[in-house]
Structure 1
């Protein structure tokens, strides 16, 4: 029996992504446990997370070229191997921020591999959207399970958590062998990576649909990252929740909604009708403006759950659009690298601004309202940019 007979290629990608995302979220809780155990200052968790974002920003010019110059299965394997080494660093008590920077490097290598392989494994745009929906949906499930498992295990034994996360990465590496090798797209000298990357960014920002895919994902994730941080402070004050577990479950509800929305996305939107995604974003922005006014737990749960569903239906066509354009032009890996660069640059700037605002004494309600207002303006800007271009793009 051939290797692909054991597990079909696309299903193999979904399984290894699930295992990798599960271990990724366990690793975050392992780092948090290490910070508590070794009595690092409170601000250190923000520093650790900033190192992760920084790795995406700095490494983007090179990882896109790497992903398009070697088979994607090797990219997936390399990314997970590097993330596994991060666990060894933590066991050796190497600085958590430095360790997490290394973990970010593994993640930024892995990302264009998992997304870039999808156009190769699908036959048309609608199948690509369906593949993305399954990838995002399984990722959300893995995030939820990884958070629960990582939080519980790391409270009992850091060593046991590291052992299980290592086993998950190891299994993901083995499953990556079931992914077929796509033909290398192109060979660009690494010494020209930065110059080439600047050209890639310019290409996507000048390309009407490419611009939508890059700005659309960046606008979405910067708002989500800030609101997620704010909810951890707002929920106990407004809803009377105590302890991390109830608040984590509240955040988890958004993830469940995003998973459902991701699975539903192919049935309500396609790459050809990608502009509809803006309407999902607009409703999310309005809901975030309402959020600080709520004091009823049941109503809050419903709104957060619906926001999650809308978020899943929003991000799937945006990612699919990026992969389709990249695969047809400069290479899927390079296109995803541009998208990752934009997302993480805005997320780093946004979370830094939020941290500064919080330390300056601005209330969490004001921060949520400000984030919602900015998100609304960004969605309106995206709607303006995505209007049908005369003689360039056909009407839907």
Structure 2
């Protein structure tokens, strides 16, 4: 995991990380100080009830995301990003000075106006925050960079919430909070001055100021790419899910656990740390590239541990007498609840980081910031709906535990719906499970596979899962040409159909199918896709390579593209190979977690492609390890 932390030593990332960390800290520092102040001193400051004030504060902070995200997305695409970030930090300093005046005057109206302006500043910073990462990080660093940003954000939220709540209640608390928020804003500006220049994506764009028209247009940009748009909906659903849980922590701690404010702090701390750990684990689990196979894994965990949280907490009596934290921690059920919260948050990290990286990597660079602005708008909308659902269900007599149950079940419904619309998520999940349970995969030389444009990859054929292993290692989708009988196998059929594999038969068996397959290969290569074939035409039953058939020469002659030789090592003798008899007939033939390798060589120009030459290269890459 050290590689993602190395980004913290580099100027292209560290100043930006500190800037966004301090910004998230300051938002929650001021917001929670204000909430605590109006909760406990509302009678001195205003005629409104504390509950009404808290809800007004929450609404005023989120309202700017609806009003200004569209304009902010345009700014982030039009202007050089480091200058835009410095502008937002100067704006933050001015807002925090205004907050100091509000505290000095004990003016609730001015405090709320300041909170609205803080939401505006966050809405402006939001699109540039995520759009800058693909421009300063390599593709292999994108997951790690997003993981650091997400983990840092949640830790900053936790620290800001704690510090704001603690400082405002000490003697002269408003003075300490005023000094703290201004100092934090100044530190954020100083950090932003070290962010290197990042080119504008579309400097010639004319800013349109109508937020409603622009919001609709930005959602339209996002919908141009189906996978990106559904990923945005998935991200928004995560914020819905998280908003339900986080908003219920005070009530859950007091009414269900029977704890005091320290119990609320513990729940928030456990959740924030869990998100941070899950986010940071993503880079290792994804092999340093955008691995959307983690998303179904995360969504399953959100449902399973959400249901267990309901199950565990249902055994507790509602309205339990308030107890100190030490007594709560002496109860086994409390540790089970804390474990569920850690796992919910950890799975949330698995879920959210790949989705953010996917949106960044697959959005058109010219309007990436506007797509992220659309994401922020939808996030805010989903959080508002979450608040409305929570308030409505609780008002109708539902318990906090039942609210958790409903949210966990809704998560399962949403997940099934999204994965039905985009089977690529489930496909990558199946592939990810394979190479992280049955096998331990080591990859060398996959940088030789072209990042874009038509190309063919060829490999030795050792087992029934060769295609899945290559798919797991490839950053690009691969359309494999495969025997039509394997194409129809249960379970594997789902994988191959979803990956748009091309079934083929021999000329003797079905000449029409063979010709259709060659035609489809040509169309795929002309469209710039990556096609994979096993030129032996069969899975080896001896461990040695069979002669490469002439089909590869025919493919390249018709559509001249580079051919990348690959070699699979270590699969011979595994459960899915044909060593000593039929495949999949002897479970645990070699035990679990077999170490295998995939090695790639430099592309062969189309003019130099011959079946014999490719076979020699693949044999040399494989070496003695079958």
Give TM-score, length-normalised by structure 2.
Answer: 0.59
8 A Cα contact 1:262 1:312, kept in partner: yes
Q: C-alpha displacement at 1:252, in angstroms?
A: 1.3
- Provide the residue aligned with 2:346 in structure 1: 309
Superposition pairs of residues 29-108 of structure 1, within 5 angstroms: 29-35=32-38, 36-37=40-41, 38-39=45-46, 40-41=48-49, 42-90=51-99, 91-92=101-102, 93=107, 94-108=109-123
Q: 1:213-269 CA deviation, whole Å, 9 max, x = no partner?
A: 21110011101101112232123333222x212112112101001111111111112
- Provide the residue aligned with 2:26 in structure 1: 23
Taking the aligned partners of 1:322 and 1:47, their CA distance within structure 2 comes to 32
8 A Cα contact 1:68 1:185, kept in partner: yes
Q: C-alpha displacement at 1:133, in angstroms?
A: 0.9
Residue of 166, 175, 197 corresponding to 2:191: 175
Taking the aligned partners of 1:192 and 1:25, their CA distance within structure 2 comes to 29
1:342 aligns with 2:378: yes
Q: C-alpha displacement at 1:176, in angstroms?
A: 0.8
8 A Cα contact 1:78 1:109, kept in partner: no
- Provide the residue aligned with 1:3 in structure 2: none
Taking the aligned partners of 2:228 and 2:419, their CA distance within structure 1 comes to 14
Taking the aligned partners of 1:271 and 1:378, their CA distance within structure 2 comes to 25
Superposition pairs of residues 171-320 of structure 1, within 5 angstroms: 171-186=187-202, 187-191=204-208, 194-241=212-259, 243-269=260-286, 272-295=290-313, 296-320=333-357
8 A Cα contact 2:57 2:115, kept in partner: yes
Taking the aligned partners of 1:148 and 1:172, their CA distance within structure 2 comes to 19
Superposition pairs of residues 362-377 of structure 1, within 5 angstroms: 362-377=398-413
- Provide the residue aligned with 2:616 in structure 1: none
Q: C-alpha displacement at 1:192, in angstroms?
A: 6.1
8 A Cα contact 1:71 1:184, kept in partner: yes
Q: Return the structure number with greater helix share.
A: 1
Give TM-score, length-normalised by structure 1.
Answer: 0.91
SS at match of 1:43: helix
Instruction: Tell which deviates more after alignment, 79-88 or 65-74.
Output: 79-88
8 A Cα contact 1:260 1:312, kept in partner: yes
Taking the aligned partners of 1:32 and 1:56, their CA distance within structure 2 comes to 20
Q: C-alpha displacement at 1:271, in angstroms?
A: 5.2
Q: Greater relative contact order: 1 or 2 (C-alpha under 8 angstroms, separation 6 or more)?
A: 1
**Cα 1:284–1:58, aligned 2, differ >3 Å: closer, same or farther?**
same
Q: 1:363-393 CA deviation, whole Å, 9 max, x = no partner?
A: 2222222222212211111211221399x96
Taking the aligned partners of 1:334 and 1:286, their CA distance within structure 2 comes to 35
Taking the aligned partners of 1:74 and 1:50, their CA distance within structure 2 comes to 29
Q: Return the structure number with greater strand share.
A: 2
Structure 2, unpaired ranges of 5+? 1-8, 314-332, 428-475, 479-498, 501-626
Larger Rg: 2
1:11 aligns with 2:14: yes
Q: 1:297-331 CA deviation, whole Å, 9 max, x = no partner?
A: 010111111111111121111111122223x3442
8 A Cα contact 2:73 2:128, kept in partner: no
- Provide the residue aligned with 1:148 in structure 2: 162
Taking the aligned partners of 1:60 and 1:29, their CA distance within structure 2 comes to 23
- Provide the residue aligned with 2:442 in structure 1: none
1:119 aligns with 2:128: no
Q: C-alpha displacement at 1:207, in angstroms?
A: 1.4
Taking the aligned partners of 1:65 and 1:273, their CA distance within structure 2 comes to 29
Taking the aligned partners of 1:366 and 1:137, their CA distance within structure 2 comes to 29
8 A Cα contact 1:289 1:372, kept in partner: yes
Q: C-alpha displacement at 1:11, in angstroms?
A: 0.9
Superposition pairs of residues 319-358 of structure 1, within 5 angstroms: 319-326=356-363, 328-358=364-394
8 A Cα contact 1:130 1:266, kept in partner: yes
Structure 1, unpaired ranges of 5+? 1-5
8 A Cα contact 1:137 1:260, kept in partner: yes
Aligned-residue Cα RMSD (Å) equals 2.3
